[in-house]
Structure 1
């Protein structure tokens, strides 16, 4: 009797701990086999986002090629804008909160360069509480938050590509 109660208690504690840590199951990003491998095209200022998107594809078993001529689908991404805006001021007119914005566009092209879908713009926004007495901490936190925003943006870009690929695959 005690072992059954202990098992239930341990299972409940594990579920609560897992929920509290922020773990969430995410769906996988899949592309039809006839649309792989994909090539990710990005401008020089979008390389970090490109690497993040490539990582999302690799995690989800989507073949990515380094050569455009080997690709069956071209994913073109552009980091359009990154901004930092003051959201609130403290009593001394210093930034108490600021907002970070990033936006990127994605479009799909055929290997011959013909536009298949898009461009579609996606945005990420984060509000950060600032300690005006710690400017080094603010810069460090901004860098970390921007990296997290790019990772989230790449997940959303991958999901957009998946959605479009399923649309194209369903069409005759």
Structure 2
């Protein structure tokens, strides 16, 4: 009885510690092999987001083609907007908090250019508490946070493509 209670207590403690540390299973982007390789198209302003999306596909073992002609699905990605808004001011009317916004559009096409899904817009937001006495830190922090936001946006875009690919498989 004592060993069962000890074992149960250990497993419960391990689960609580694991949940408390922020660990979460990310899942993978499973796209059927019949729909691969995928070509990711973007304009100049969206190159960083496009590269991040390709990296997400590579992490999840989704084949990405460098040539549009070889692809079975075309993913068109566009970074629509980057915005910074003041949320709160301090006593000296400087930004105490500000919000960063990024939105992107994604569209799925067949190799012949037929629109299969989309366009669909996704948005990422972050609230940042600012130190008004450190303007250099604000710029550096904004750059780092924007890079993180694009990475998160690319994960969401990859999941959207996965969702659409499952819909396409279920169609007759």
Q: Same fold (TM over 0.5)?
A: yes
Question: Within the alignment, does 1:35 sit opposite 2:35 as a pair?
Answer: yes
- C-alpha deviation, 1:8, in angstroms: 5.7
Moved runs in structure 1, 4+ residues, more than 2 A?
A: 1-21
Give the gaps of 5 or more residues in structure 1. none
SS in structure 1 of the partner of residue 22 of structure 2: coil
In 1, Cα distance between equivalents of 2:16 and 2:81: 39
* Map of 2:60 onto structure 1: 60
- C-alpha deviation, 1:133, in angstroms: 0.5
In 1, Cα distance between equivalents of 2:46 and 2:40: 11
What's the CA shift string for 1:133-171, capped at 9, x where partnerless?
011111111111111111111111111111111111101
- C-alpha deviation, 1:97, in angstroms: 0.3
Give the gaps of 5 or more residues in structure 2. none
User: In angstroms, what is the RMSD of aligned CA positions?
Assistant: 1.7
In 1, Cα distance between equivalents of 2:161 and 2:47: 18
In 2, Cα distance between equivalents of 1:97 and 1:4: 51
Does the C-alpha gap of structure 1 residues 16 and 137 become closer, same or farther in structure 2, counting only changes over 3 Å? farther
SS in structure 2 of the partner of residue 132 of structure 1: coil
* Map of 2:107 onto structure 1: 107
**Number of aligned pairs?**
172
* Map of 1:19 onto structure 2: 19
What TM-score comes out, normalization by structure 1 length? 0.92
Does the C-alpha gap of structure 1 residues 134 and 9 become closer, same or farther in structure 2, counting only changes over 3 Å? farther
Does the C-alpha gap of structure 1 residues 2 and 142 become closer, same or farther in structure 2, counting only changes over 3 Å? farther
- C-alpha deviation, 1:22, in angstroms: 1.5
